[in-house]
Structure 1
Amino acid sequence: MIRIMVVDDHAVVRSGLKMLLDAHADLEVIGEAADGDEAIQKALSLLPDVVLMDLSMPHGKDGLRTTEELKKLQPDVAVLILTMHDDEEYLFRAIHFGASGYILKSAPHEELISAIRLVAAGDAYLHPNATKRLMGEYIDKLKNGAEAGTYESLSDREKEILAKVAQGYSNKEIAEQLIISVKTVESHKSNLMEKLSLKTRPDLVKFALKKGLLHFES
């Protein structure tokens, strides 16, 4: 049984989705939420397998920020963005914030059911147009010699901070050594981790170790 929570600010949409999903023997809607804050609160107590997340919610957090926060608190939950926006900007941001899939509200019911089952199993789902766009961008990057996620994509300052963070220095210590503000260090650190698709300090240390960057000062 796949446990699902539906997040949408329209009660009629939540009701319709619940009826549709509960009609399938392997799907169960265990909770609903009308905004981002309610979604996070309920997800922490209900522990759904999949969260169907609307992007546009006028009150409180939108779907993207809710997804980002929820994935930090519950990394194993699969978030499937269900939206009317067929816009590549929303698509790329949704993936960046941790969504497992992105499907349009205009998609056939069968496609939605299939997408839910896929993300629940740990796979990713993108509607066909979105897949074409992502592939197109990836090919463009290869042609331009600028494939994302590489060490070469970092600035000199980001490479410097990467090495120091991996060596165990705190943000304050790095700021003092480089004569910059702690806020600047935090900004560089956030940017480099995003470029390298790293989530935690251990991930960063492993990356630095592979690149041979851990040269400790005596």
Structure 2
Amino acid sequence: MSGSVRVMLVDDHAVMRAGFRMILESAGDITVVGEASTGVEAVAAASVLRPDVICMDVQMPDMDGVEATRRIAADPSIDAAVVVVTTFDRDDYLFDALAAGASGFLLKNAGPEELISAVRVAAAGDALLAPEVTRRVIARFAASPAPAPSAAPAAPENPSAGRDLGAHPGSRRADGFSTNGELATAPVVDLTEREAEVLQLVAQAMSNAEIAQRLYIGEATVKTHVSNVLQKLGARDRVAAVVYAHRHGLV
């Protein structure tokens, strides 16, 4: 990430958009490049404005934020991370938004610094969840038992073949969710000692900079380790990696 982060605001309340604009542009490294008041407007504007991050409301006329997120994430011409920002702390909004391709989920009662941080994290290619939301994601998915080792197929010679989850309900998508909206069960994979350390710290909601400081390594090195971990897990982002870590007792 270099230069100013380009943000688009999507909310059907003009006062809310004005407040977000004031908060984000006070950061100095964030520029609001456009606004939309409906999901339909958001999808159309995203392809024209090319923002780095979209702050997306859920309840809106014409098209809700979850469907708008799904269409934006599915459009290869749009390279924008979507952070859902909503008043409603509801599980259906949370899990539907993540399954649709959102990179973050934040409640509107979050402080200004949390909103700014969420935009920066999303622009850097990472995922972010409000702390109370993270606990619910883990509670929902980590509670489900991982497949018994005896039921798992023998480890293939080809590492990429380890991502075949055809035995699980729903086909596997690249974002870490099955097509029925549930988080797909990741196979047990072999991580290096350092990758396991990095995954444990990611699961503790540490940023790359914080992990680098903890492990006394460069931030670029941390980013490489995180990318390797996500690739081995077949996970889209850090959210799926956090669930995996809790599910397999790494935290």
TM-score (norm 2): 0.59
Gap change, CA 1:141 and 1:193, over 3 Å in 2: closer
Gap change, CA 1:114 and 1:60, over 3 Å in 2: same
Query: Which of 65, 68, 74 does residue 66 from structure 1 map onto?
Result: 68
User: What amino acid maps onto 2:66 in structure 1?
Assistant: L
Q: Residues 28-47 of structure 1 correspond to what in structure 2 (within 5 A)? A: 28-47=31-50
SS of the residue corresponding to residue 106 of structure 1 reads coil
1:141 to 2:155 alignment = no
Query: Which of 123, 126, 148 does residue 126 from structure 2 map onto?
Result: 123
Alpha-carbon distance between aligned partners in 2 of 1:99 and 1:133, rounded to the nearest angstrom: 16
Alpha-carbon distance between aligned partners in 2 of 1:86 and 1:193, rounded to the nearest angstrom: 19
Query: Which of 129, 150, 153 does residue 165 from structure 2 map onto?
Result: 150
Gap change, CA 1:20 and 1:192, over 3 Å in 2: closer
Alpha-carbon distance between aligned partners in 2 of 1:41 and 1:102, rounded to the nearest angstrom: 22
Gap change, CA 1:56 and 1:101, over 3 Å in 2: same
Alpha-carbon distance between aligned partners in 2 of 1:24 and 1:69, rounded to the nearest angstrom: 29
Give deviations 1:25-51, integer Å, cap 9, x for gaps. Answer: 100000000101111111111100000
1:9 to 2:12 alignment = yes
Q: Residues 162-177 of structure 1 correspond to what in structure 2 (within 5 A)? A: none
Gap change, CA 1:70 and 1:122, over 3 Å in 2: same
> Which is bigger in relative contact order (C-alpha 8 A, separation at least 6)?
2
Paired residues of 2:6 and 2:51 also in contact (CA < 8 A):
yes
Alpha-carbon distance between aligned partners in 1 of 2:165 and 2:48, rounded to the nearest angstrom: 38
Alpha-carbon distance between aligned partners in 2 of 1:25 and 1:33, rounded to the nearest angstrom: 22
Q: What displacement does 1:87 show?
A: 1.3
Runs (5+) with no aligned partner, structure 1: 163-189, 198-206, 208-218
User: What amino acid maps onto 2:30 in structure 1?
Assistant: L
2:29 maps to 26
Q: What displacement does 1:142 show?
A: 2.2
Runs of 4+ in 1 over 4 A off after TM superposition: 143-146, 190-197
2:86 maps to 83
Give deviations 1:64-110, integer Å, cap 9, x for gaps. Answer: 00000111124521000000111122111100000000000001111
Provide the aligned C-alpha RMSD in A: 2.9
Gap change, CA 1:195 and 1:79, over 3 Å in 2: closer
Gap change, CA 1:66 and 1:26, over 3 Å in 2: same
User: What amino acid maps onto 2:167 in structure 1?
Assistant: E
1:93 maps to 96
User: What amino acid maps onto 1:50 in structure 2?
Assistant: V
Q: What displacement does 1:152 show?
A: 2.1
1:105 to 2:108 alignment = yes
Alpha-carbon distance between aligned partners in 1 of 2:179 and 2:167, rounded to the nearest angstrom: 14
TM-score (norm 1): 0.67
Alpha-carbon distance between aligned partners in 2 of 1:136 and 1:121, rounded to the nearest angstrom: 27
SS of the residue corresponding to residue 8 of structure 2 reads strand
Equivalenced residue count is 164
Q: What displacement does 1:192 show?
A: 7.5
When you count helix as a share of all residues, which structure comes out higher? 1
